[in-house]
Amino acid sequence: MELHRWKMEEQQKLEEARLAGEAALALAAQEKAKCKAAVEAAEAAKQIAEFEAQKRMDAEMRVLKDSEDRKKAMECLPQADVKYRKYTIDEIEVATEYFAESRKIGEGGYGPVYKCYLDHTQAAVKVLRPDAAQGKLQFQQEVEILSFIRHPNMVILLGACPEYGCLVYECMANGSLEDRLLRRGNTPPIPWQHRFRIAAEIGTALLFLHQTKPEPLVHRDLKPANILLDQNYVSKISDVGLARLVPASVADHVTQYRMTATAGTFCYIDPEYQQTGMLGTKSDIYSFGILLLQLITGRSPMGLRHHVDRSIGKGTFAEMLDPSVQDWPVEEALCLAKLALKCAELRRKDRPDLGTTVLPELNRLRAIGEENMQQVVLGNSFQTASEVSLQVRF
């Protein structure tokens, strides 16, 4: 009986071992099949990725070829096609008193700016730096763009001296938006009503550039230093020398266009454009968002998006408003700040559309500012009339 029991136990162990071996073989077969399927899937994914990469490369090559063809066509155009008032260097030297330091009103990366009178008109002359690497290209492009387009909120080019790289603009009495926000020269602060109007004006001019036919125009260097103000604080966009024409086919379908090198000013450059070189009309929207934040805070652009966003979350947004303006409408300013933060989203696809979303809100805020300004004027008029009446009575 003991032998029989031992024999049965041994047979059971052998049977269990056999079943375990079969199970192990079956599991190995399954793993092998899974591995084979994974390898096949990886190969298929690799082929698809290579196909997509090839498609993108072909598309980029076509865009670059179109750009080169357009550039060659533009170079083949005779200089006479660009019609503008040509000044001689003698006229400009006499008007600026031979570029006297007392006539100098500004200095930028492009070169110094001088105030003068030309053709009995107050003008500003911007002079190309001899050492400016891209200066001549920017000069030519600015002349071409400003000679062909007209908009109430785009600076007017009065003429140029191509031989010496001098651009002659209408003179803007209040200088740049940056100078007025920083109150350089101890100038008075810009009232909030004017700031709301300036925001809408810049948005309108920017949309005009983006809707330029036959190809959209991307400014690429939108910032307060490139926004000029006249004596009535009407704003105008200047310095379009870095602007780029984006092919209409690309702008309609992809909204991006690969550039060989990024351009613009740090803190205002679209992060996606800076990293990838892909340029689109929404690249300007990011710069516009940072500009709007500066318009209501009067602060440096460095880290401004983060500070405003954090203050809104903590409920301390009112502390971020420009303290030089005492009568801010906090609720309306908060609406403008939230809109600016949306414009300054890091991902391009998260930024709102300028024509359908941004401008309607800016025009609403502009109307609020203008209505408030009219009420203030009427109130002052009524007060003045009352004072006159009292003086007559007594």
Both 159 and 302 in one domain: the answer is no
Residue 113: inside a domain: yes
Of the ranges 115-129, 141-155, 233-247, 303-317, which is most confident? Answer: 303-317
Residue 5: inside a domain: no
Report how far residue 323's alpha carbon sits from residue 150's, in angstroms, rounded to the nearest whole number: 36
Kindly indicate the confidence band of residue 148, based on its pLDDT and cuts at 50, 70 and 90: confident
Q: Which of 155, 170, 185 is the last residue in one of the domains?
A: 170
Both 192 and 123 in one domain: the answer is no
- Residue 369 makes CB contacts below 8 A (sequence gap 6+) with 192, 193, 194, 195, 196, 197
Report how far residue 344's alpha carbon sits from residue 285's, in angstroms, rounded to the nearest whole number: 7
Both 222 and 341 in one domain: the answer is yes
Pick the range with the lowest mean pLDDT from 73-87, 121-135, 184-198: 73-87
Name the residue range of residue 332's domain: 177-383
Nearest to 179 by CA among 229, 253, 220: 229
Mutual angle of helices 330-343 and 192-210, in 10-degree steps: 30
Both 129 and 261 in one domain: the answer is no
230 noted as active-site residue: no
Both 100 and 192 in one domain: the answer is no
Both 246 and 129 in one domain: the answer is no
Give the mean model confidence (pLDDT) for residues 221-245. 86
Residue 81: inside a domain: no
B/e letters for 155-182, b = 16+ CB within 10 Å, e = fewer, are bebbbbbbeebbbbbbbbebbbbebbbe
Residue 14: inside a domain: no
Report how far residue 125's alpha carbon sits from residue 161's, in angstroms, rounded to the nearest whole number: 10
Instruction: Give residue-wise pLDDT tens across range 242-289.
Output: 666 555 444 434 444 444 445 557 789 989 888 888 888 899 999 999
Both 199 and 324 in one domain: the answer is yes
pTM value is 0.72
β-bridge mates for residue 122, sequence order? 117
Both 204 and 336 in one domain: the answer is yes
H helices of the chain, in order, are 2-76, 89-95, 135-148, 177-181, 192-210, 248-253, 271-276, 281-297, 304-314, 330-343, 359-393
Instruction: Give residue-wise pLDDT tens across range 102-112.
Output: 999 887 667 88
As a whole number, the mean pLDDT across the chain is: 84
Both 282 and 374 in one domain: the answer is yes
Instruction: Give residue-wise pLDDT tens across range 195-217.
Output: 999 999 999 999 999 998 777 88
For 316-344, give the secondary structure using H, E and C. CHHHHCCCCCCCCCHHHHHHHHHHHHHHC
Q: How many domains does the chain have?
A: 2
Per-residue DSSP letter, 131: T
Place of tokens 């024409």: 245
- The DSSP bridge pattern shows strands 157-161 and 166-170 to be antiparallel
Q: Which of 170, 193, 221 is the last residue in one of the domains?
A: 170
Residue 18 has pLDDT above 80, yes or no: yes
Q: Which of 170, 195, 222 is the last residue in one of the domains?
A: 170
Residue 48: inside a domain: no
Q: What is the pLDDT of residue 140?
A: 80
Report how far residue 138's alpha carbon sits from residue 122's, in angstroms, rounded to the nearest whole number: 24
For a pLDDT cut of 90, what percent of the chain falls above it? 49
Instruction: Give residue-wise pLDDT tens across range 326-380.
Output: 999 999 999 999 999 999 999 999 999 999 999 999 999 999 999 998 888 776 7
We report the CATH number of the domain holding residue 139 as 3.30.200.20
Kindly indicate the confidence band of residue 52, based on its pLDDT and cuts at 50, 70 and 90: confident
Q: Looking at 81, 179, 221, 270, which residue is catalytic? A: 221
Both 160 and 226 in one domain: the answer is no
Both 221 and 131 in one domain: the answer is no
End-to-end Cα, the chain, rounded Å: 140
Both 228 and 369 in one domain: the answer is yes
Q: What is the pLDDT of residue 249?
A: 44
We report the CATH number of the domain holding residue 184 as 1.10.510.10
Alpha-carbon torsion, ordered 355, 356, 359, 364, to 10 deg: 160
